[in-house]
Amino acid sequence: MVKKFEGWECINGGLHCCGNLSPEPHYPSITRYPKGTSPEVVEGSEAAITVVFCVMGMTCAACAGSVEKAIKRLPGIREAVVDVLNDKAQVQYYPSIVNEDKIREAIIDVGFEAKSMGESSNDTSLQICRVHIGGMTCTSCSSNVESSLQSLPGVQIAQVALATEEAEIHYNPNIISYNQIIEAISDTGFKPILISKGEHISKIELQIDGIKNEQSMDIIQHSLRSLQGVETIDTYQDIHRVTLTYKPYLTGPRTFIEAIESTGSGCFRATIFSNDGGSKAHKRDEINRHFKLLIWSLAFTIPVFLISMVLMYIPGIKHVLEIKIVNMLNIGLLLKWEFSTPVQFIIGRRFYVGAYKALRKGYANMDVLIALGTNAAYFYSVYVVGRTVFSSHFKGSDFFETSSMLISFILLGKYLEVLAKGRTSQAIAKLMDLTPDTAMLLTQDDKGNVIGEREIDSRLIQKNDVIKVVPGAKVASDGVVVWGQSHVNESMITGEAKPVAKMKGEMVIGGTVNENGVLHVKVTRVGSESALSQIVRLVESAQMAKAPVQKFADQISKYFVPIVVVISFSTWICWFVAGKLHTYPKSWIPSSMNSFELALQFGISVMVIACPCALGLATPTAVMVGTGVGATQGVLIKGGQALESAHKVNCIVFDKTGTLTVGKPVVVTTKLFKNMSVKDFYKFVAAAEVNSEHPIAKAIVDHAKNIIEEEQNHSFPEAKDFVSVSGHGVKAIVQNKEIIVGNKKLMLDHNIAISVEAEEVLAEAETMAQTGIVVSLDGEVVGVVAVSDALKPNAKEVISILKSMKIRSIMVTGDNWGTANSIARQVGIETVMAEAQPETKATKIKEFQNAGYTVGMVGDGINDSPALVAADVGIAIGAGTDIAIEAADIVLMKSNLEDTIIAIDLAKKTLSRIRLNYVWALGYNVVAIPIAAGVLYPSTRFRLPPWIAGAAMAASSISVVCSSLLLKKYKRPSMLKKMEMNGIKIE
């Protein structure tokens, strides 16, 4: 079905969006089409040129919104229209100001690929796969993987997140397979593990008992293929296991198990195989691997440290260690060589492998610095060993303790860093653990009576199952209450602490806790369709997306390591040449070394103290923690772009109905001007309004149902030639009469005279902040319906707080001027725009942007979607429509207006933390590198031994991660706390 609203088309059954929270697996999508494509003359003779781009990688209206925003920010853009359904962007621009290349670059900068339609392929079907990538150490690694993936044919967009060690790849399966993508990642030198592929698809592994031969597996495979909704089947004969991908809204694991067990005369038994493969398992394995490496490294390094630093000062042991074996080679030196060699080449092998693969691909990473530094120390020490073997008087100093301790400290730093990074994504882990392990499945007869119940694994729940939820238990899956009433604590999903009353017909969310009464819930969404899964996916996507500020670190990382290598070699050469030319006194050289060794130590210290990792982790870790904290507060922030834009907001545009007001209008008065019964009047009105989605229309229909009591099914007369006039009202033919229901402007547009009496009723309604709806039959006004929508609690206080934050508040509504002004006065908004159509709202927002404001738009309805897309930050009320949620950058799950303040405040604190991380990361390198190079040595004789430099390098990365983790201590703004306290006092 297609509905048209003044240049907009709402096409049902369109795309799936990971951030969408609607009950069905297919969601509506909105696309704006221009009313005309002919170029128009501007300021004289120059015409606007129209170009169409194929934009690859868009999955929902939020993607289209980010593309449209990026294009419209360019100077010289007349209009930009993005068609998410067909992956197209139509742009009208003035060629003297901007060109196609700049437009294409703007699209690419927000993460999508763009080509002119002449270059694009007709096939735009894309799939998405997520891959865990092990072994990345710094931004250079992630950037290299990302560029390698983006260079593959068929890959439209690739995002690689260093902090989560995951990649999300959008690709055309007709050109490239996910196996080829995995191979490409392996070729870059890292370890890829597939997490998931495709959308709308769930995956499950079944362990099967009773299989005797290959024929048994063929029988099972044939039985499963006959089931509706099954996508792929992979069988593993040797381990008696089957892996299936399927559409969860068509079938489910319980059906698979029943099909298997009914095959082959009941000799097979199937169970869900608990696969710990997932991100949690990868993270756990990585922590264990780093811990084992650290323990082994310490086992060999501690003896080297003791021999070098402790035992050499104990008289008896010192004598033993100094016993000569061959010429000047003593036992102590030989032992240090033996203990340090496994550390250098076995435990430190990962640095060699990482450095080799990086250099082979033409870039340098942290492994290159570590490999160069430790090799310089180790092989110089081997040179010393060789000299002692062949000389009877050589007394050189070795650096075996330097290379061993350096590797050990770096491994300790990596271990602590992995532990800290694991804590940054705890919000997702907590969300994923909300679903209960088991559920009580009810069996019903044809009349809906319960005839039995049994406990099942919650993973076996399928759509349309009826489950029983007892007091104190968690709801196992999303659904609708079909029997019983209770209160459900939804704080773990929405952040709202107050239990929500639930009765028959109410929706419940999987993972929430039933407080008191027993509920029977019919399951409507399972697996990846559930609200919890989609929230998790939205947060994961937010943490995957790079903030624009991350580009700063990416640019630095390209040149950081080569520059450090140059500085390191320059340091060594300068000190070495200075020593040879005797430009500094011999007293500067420690007694245990010569000028060459002193210069070498300075060079190695510079190489290992520099830390590109801290720069690479500064933004993603803060974004991860910030979006996770937002999720626990009931504020879903869709990535770093939204955070970065939200902290700049200095003007917020509010919709009225459902945003500043409760959104549940009710009919308060009805005034008739013709001799007809109220019942007949509402039959006509409801017949027309029942086709509209507007909250006021629903309020009128509900009121009509209460008046027409004798008709239980509330079937209204048929409305023909129904037309919805966006922002004004509706018109239709009902029982051969033309009925128009809408505002005053709609009547005037149809040349319908409004009587003085009707004008007085409308004016009175407006003074009482009510919306007056005029009803006409066959061109004559027959009545006025006054509808009231109460203000949301604390709306006035929220506007006041925003004003104190120097954020301008504006109200834009499709309602009449009188009602709009009355509501604005009550909440304290000075600037009002009323009787605005959807496209008018978007135009007004653009005017404010042109005036220099960074605009946030808060809305909840379909008619708010264009404005949400046009704004710098779109903020959707969680209880609003699915399309508004898709189009928004931030979703307020609790539908509380005060969460707008939390979203902006959290964005400011997150960006502040990112800046602090950058100050620390850059400041550390700016200060540490000169100190390691010896700038303080001439005046203070202070120098950093390489192993201490390595410890400092490891500490810098850990400090940045810990700095980001401090965001977990985020507290609501004190102004909100005062507002809540005042609210309690009033009650």
Structure tokens, 252: 């489910």
Hey, what long-range contacts does 678-685 have (CB within 8 A, 24 or more apart)? 678/707, 679/707, 679/708, 681/775, 681/782, 681/783, 682/707, 682/708, 683/708, 683/716, 683/717, 684/717, 684/734, 684/735, 684/737, 684/739, 684/775, 684/777, 685/739, 685/741, 685/775, 685/785
Token pair 């239709």 is at which residue? Answer: 732
Structure tokens, 422: 């694991």
C-alpha distance from residue 638 to each of 581, 708, 890 (Å): 61, 46, 6
Structure tokens, 165: 């060690």
How many Å apart are CA 939 and CA 930, to the nearest integer?
14
How many Å apart are CA 648 and CA 73, to the nearest integer?
15
The residue among 816, 820, 814, 815 whose CA lies nearest residue 839 is 814
Structure tokens, 600: 């070498």
Structure tokens, 666: 């009710």
How many Å apart are CA 237 and CA 447, to the nearest integer?
44
Q: What is the dihedral of CA 757, 759, 761, 767, to 10 degrees?
A: -150
Give the SS3 label for residue 198: coil
End-to-end CA distance of the chain: 48
How many Å apart are CA 265 and CA 141, to the nearest integer?
55
Structure tokens, 855: 């605009």
Residues 6+ away with beta carbon under 8 Å from 921? 611, 614, 615, 618, 956, 960
Task: Please give the angle made by the CA atoms of 88, 693 and 65, to the nearest 5 degrees.
Answer: 25
**What residue type is 89 in one-letter code?**
A
Distance of CA 25 to the CA centre of its chain: 20
How many Å apart are CA 672 and CA 785, to the nearest integer?
9
Cα atoms in the Cβ-side hemisphere of radius 13 Å centred on 935: 8
The residue among 822, 828, 826, 820 whose CA lies nearest residue 802 is 828
Residues 6+ away with beta carbon under 8 Å from 837? 6, 726, 727, 728, 814, 863
CB 554 within 8 A of CB 138: no
Cα atoms in the Cβ-side hemisphere of radius 13 Å centred on 39: 14
How many Å apart are CA 886 and CA 874, to the nearest integer?
10
Task: Please give the angle made by the CA atoms of 89, 94 and 97, to the nearest 5 degrees.
Answer: 110
Give catalytic residues, as residue numbers.
655
